[in-house]
Copies of this chain bind each other. A is one copy, B any other.
């Protein structure tokens, strides 16, 4: 098993599924959004008897606390190619996350392939650097990151000039050495520093909604994440992301809508 496998274990219960959220996935006092997404998706996969999330949407209703959580699941429709499942993460009567997804088997899809994109050309992980800093949240200990030496996160050059997209690109893997899974891709979708962190006066960036399309099973090794914000409008921003394998295959396509709270 792995930290992620252990900490997303769900067992059948009167409310559907029960789990315990480990505080090692915390950002501040609340579990990290990607971890909540993976935990919910794992219950959905078990309820739908499917192997992989194809697309999962999470609405983060209210920050949970670590500890016991229940996941109520509803199989909306079981089709041949995929199964649609809804889910609700609750602590007591308080709903924390609402999810909706289509689940299936990534190896079992059949049809045409036509790819017109490539991963961004950044140095290999061994030619990148780690991020220092003792202010990292607890969850940062679950990941290894490698960033190009000239990225704003490393040189602290400040925000890109107005008119340029806010971007963050780097390598990620699970810190415990376990191989990435499609559940890990859900976690990686919300694991990188927010794109707006290089802007001044940005405090916290709570996610309203996060949708991840999982497009391929990851191979062992590093995963390249690239995230971009082009539209911050009246305090709402999108963060558009891609996760790529070291072999150049697209693994996941992500988008979230988030609120930018100023300090």
A interface residues (Cβ-Cβ under 8 A, vs B) = 54-55, 57, 59, 61-62, 76-77, 81-82, 84, 86, 88, 95, 98, 100-102, 106, 109-117, 162-166, 199, 201, 208-209, 211, 213, 215-216, 229-236, 238, 250, 253, 255, 257, 259-262
Contacts and interface: CB of A to CB of B under 8 A. Distances in A.
Given A84-B59, A102-B208, A209-B57, A116 B257 contact: no
- Secondary structure at chain A's binding surface: helix, strand, loop or mixed? strand
A54 B257 contact: yes
Contacts of A113: 232-234
A115 B233 contact: yes
A82 B208 contact: yes
Contacts of A57: 57, 100, 209, 211
Contacts of A98: 76, 84, 86, 100
Nearest to A261: B111
Given A81-B259, A208-B55, A216-B233, A76 B61 contact: yes
A77 B62 contact: yes
A110 B259 CA distance: 10
Nearest to A113: B233
B250 A111 contact: no
A112 B235 contact: yes
Given A111-B260, A211-B211, A216-B233, 19 more contacts: A55-B209, A55-B257, A57-B100, A57-B211, A59-B76, A77-B95, A84-B98, A86-B86, A111-B234, A112-B235, A113-B234, A114-B232, A116-B230, A117-B230, A209-B211, A213-B257, A215-B231, A215-B236, A253-B255
Nearest to A235: B111
Contacts of A117: 165, 230-231
Nearest to A100: B100
A111 B236 contact: yes
16 contacts: A55-B257, A57-B100, A57-B209, A86-B98, A100-B100, A110-B235, A111-B259, A112-B260, A115-B231, A116-B229, A209-B211, A211-B211, A216-B233, A231-B253, A238-B253, A255-B255
